[in-house]
Chains A and B, each alone.
Chain A
Amino acid sequence: MKPIIEMQSISKKYRTYRNRSPYQTLRDSLWSLLRGGAKEEPLWALRDISVQVMQGEVLGVVGDNGAGKTTLLKILSQITPPSSGRAIVRGRVASLLEVGTGFHPELTGRENIFLNGSILGLTAREIKKRFDEILAFAEVEDFVDTPLKYYSTGMSARLAFSVAAHLDPDILLVDEVLSVGDAEFQRKSLARMTDLARSGRTVLFVSHNLPAVRQLCSRCILLRDGQVCEEGRPDEVIGAYLSTQTHQENGRAIFPGDYPRSGNQKVRLTSIELRNQNDAVTGLYGIGDNLGIHLYLTAETNVRSVKVVLEILESNGGKVATIYDSDSCFALRSVSGAVHLSVTLCDLRFYPGAYAIGVEILSEIVGWRYDLYDQLPSCITFRMINDRVGHRTLHRTDGLLYLTPDWKRHAA
């Protein structure tokens, strides 16, 4: 049997120009005509990709941001052509690079279902046939004739996903769709993807959600700098990927003066470091490790009232915790010049995945009023890596905290 997707040395080159905005303007073009052309620097987003996907396979694509995952999906879904090479696709493709593409706030739920369905490649007849199902799955039956602008975020996300879930393609291309929405939404969409995979559809699944990739996929490829550098069983490929992750989440970030941030900058965060219990700077942690957050602050003048707040965020942006210095009965009081501060979280219990830390520096809160000195929302990330404890595999869908409380059996 022939493979359902056959990629034959696909390459994609983007043109980038030094010192130039990503958009071309007429002014720039006329100008460079006069001066004899801007220097073009080719950027290879993909290089010589040859992969075959058989019918019924669920192929996971993992890799760092900018490794070419999305470009690959865009080529396979024909949004952008390859620069060289070719792909043969044998079947009806639906690409879900986002849910709710083309949703319009002025239109009602009903109208949006038809529009969105049509954009995703359903015919009007197919949409009509599945209309009730879509509505029921999204649980928005009562609002079918209400304009979308009156929907809550959750409702429109459900509607969007519901339309997407009722596509009936031979090949489904999915990009990070699971990373949006709340936990319930993620669970539901994952379940639907599993159903699709079981019913013999071919799925190409791009995600940073490694547990989901592991659970869903039958095969995986790892992209690095536009090339396939690992291919095989999900366990092996994900393992290979994580072992190279260190360079990206290296546990250190430096914030120069022009770093985008808010606040009046009376007190500034200049850098942040994450250290483990051995005092080594790293971005990778396992359950039970200690996480030392080292903050380097600076103030040009003597600032008398300073308070530090840390936030820990999930990879999808949800807050895991907000930590005030005063919660631990710590007070910095005043700052002048450079200050080195450390906050240690002992015995980490987070489930595997990426987490981010945000920092806020502000004055003491008097009543409701305070001055914001500096604010860097999610300025560094760390990753919880070992997702196996004993015989158990931790899936992010099962929870957020791995707890080992005291269990005791009492005499009856």
Chain B
Amino acid sequence: MTLVHHGLGPEGNAVEHAPKVENQIADSMIEYEIEPQAWWRISFREYWRYRELFYFLAWRDILVKYKQMVLGVLWAFLQPLVLMVVLTVFWSHVIRQDTNNLPYPIFAYSGLILWGLFASAVSNAAGSMIENVNLIKKVYFPRAIIPLSALVVAIFDFGITLIIFMLLTCYYHMASSFLRLICLLPVCIGIVIFSAMGLGLALAAANVKYRDFRYVVPFLLQVLFFATPVIFPVSIFEAQPVIAGILLANPVSCAIDLLRGALVNEPILWGRVLIAIFTAGILFPAGFAVFKKVETDCADPL
């Protein structure tokens, strides 16, 4: 929806054609036009105006999620931790592979938490539009707020798992490179979040357009899981350049490798990191564009 503000935004006060003495409208003058939509026009000012709703929706999702669980926040700890234990038992006793001087538990855990962030962010965002149909049909706000606020829950969960990660690094005395870790961690998280936002927005749009698309999402995530070196190192595919290439092109896999590399003073492949940042930087606006295109007639198909 295009909003053309002739005044000064919601709290703006001076508008030349509305005499101030008139009434209460004058001091909260907003004027806008409702027109047939052009999907490529984005009003960032409008998104800014609706930032509170964004917080509230994210806050609701977090509250509701943890109120419904008996274990509450503990669940967020447990999930990757249990997986890590299972994988460690499996991996270290069945198949032995070089994990680049990293103890397997921390190797697996670092992959699992970043993947977990990505997967839950994507699937939350993808399902969010359908879950909030009642809002979308009854109230106006920039629609992208919904999938974006759904991401916040995933980020919140990730924050919890990150605490364990820090404890693990201390336990395994990997904290020698703590400063390095602190510097590189935001890069990893940024890459994952931007990629997830891009994919999540596109999938949310697809979910709105095609009702049977939601069956595709879990499947897609499963495929992506195996295209990401979460539980195995990329090095096991050294002999197969195609597979290795696919793994390397994946920005999430780069983020995971970067995090692992940060733990063992390994030289960072900046070229790869830049490619991943670039890919994530393309994914986000691309996903957003897809979303905007569908958003235009969002309330109708829903």
Residue positions of A touching B, CB distance < 8 A: 1-2, 4, 14, 23-27, 29, 55, 74-92, 95, 97-98, 101-102, 104, 106-107, 111, 114-115, 118-120, 123-124, 147, 170, 200
One of B34, B134, B298 near A89 (C-beta < 8 A): B34
One of A81, A85, A114 near B56 (C-beta < 8 A): A114
One of B31, B34, B56, B298 near A75 (C-beta < 8 A): B34
Considering only residues 189-240 of chain B, those with a C-beta below 8 Å from chain A are 209-213, 216
Residue of A nearest to B300 (CB): A80
Q: Smallest distance from the beta carbon of B152 to chain A beta carbons, Å? A: 15
- What are 21 pairs between A and B in contact, CB < 8 Å? A23-B211, A24-B209, A24-B301, A27-B212, A55-B23, A78-B1, A79-B136, A79-B299, A81-B296, A86-B35, A89-B33, A90-B30, A91-B31, A97-B139, A102-B135, A106-B63, A106-B64, A106-B67, A119-B139, A124-B52, A170-B24
Bound CA–CA A53/B83 (angstroms): 62
Bound CA–CA A356/B189 (angstroms): 60
Bound CA–CA A102/B300 (angstroms): 19
Q: Smallest distance from the beta carbon of A96 to chain B beta carbons, Å? A: 9
A55 engages B64 (CB within 8 Å): no
Q: Please, which residues of chain B bring their CB within 8 A of the CB of A79? A: 136-140, 299
One of B23, B37, B135 near A101 (C-beta < 8 A): B135
Asked if B22 lies at the interface with its beta carbon under 8 angstroms from chain A, I say yes
B56 engages A118 (CB within 8 Å): yes
Bound CA–CA A85/B52 (angstroms): 31
* CB contact under 8 A between A101 and B138, given known A91-B25, A170-B24: yes
Q: How many A-B pairs with Cβ below 8 Å?
A: 127
Residue of B nearest to A99 (CB): B138
B28 engages A170 (CB within 8 Å): yes
Residue positions of B touching A, CB distance < 8 A: 1, 10, 17-18, 22-25, 28-37, 52-53, 56-57, 60, 63-64, 67-68, 134-141, 209-213, 216, 296-301
Bound CA–CA A102/B24 (angstroms): 29
Top 7 A-B residue pairs of the complex, sorted by shortest distance between their CB atoms: A78-B140, A26-B210, A118-B56, A87-B34, A23-B211, A81-B37, A25-B212
One of B10, B36, B60, B211 near A24 (C-beta < 8 A): B211
A107 engages B60 (CB within 8 Å): yes
B36 engages A81 (CB within 8 Å): yes
B52 engages A123 (CB within 8 Å): yes
B64 engages A83 (CB within 8 Å): no
B36 engages A83 (CB within 8 Å): yes
Given A23-B301, A78-B140, 4 more contacts at CB 8 Å?
A: A76-B34, A80-B297, A91-B28, A102-B134
Q: Smallest distance from the beta carbon of A34 to chain B beta carbons, Å? A: 16
B64 engages A107 (CB within 8 Å): yes
Q: Please, which residues of chain A bring their CB within 8 A of the CB of B60? A: 104, 107, 111, 115
B35 engages A82 (CB within 8 Å): yes
B1 engages A81 (CB within 8 Å): yes
Residue of A nearest to B206 (CB): A26
Bound CA–CA A305/B211 (angstroms): 48
Bound CA–CA A410/B61 (angstroms): 70
One of A89, A98, A118 near B31 (C-beta < 8 A): A89
* CB contact under 8 A between A29 and B53, given known A23-B301, A77-B140, A81-B297: no
* CB contact under 8 A between A88 and B32, given known A81-B37, A170-B25: yes
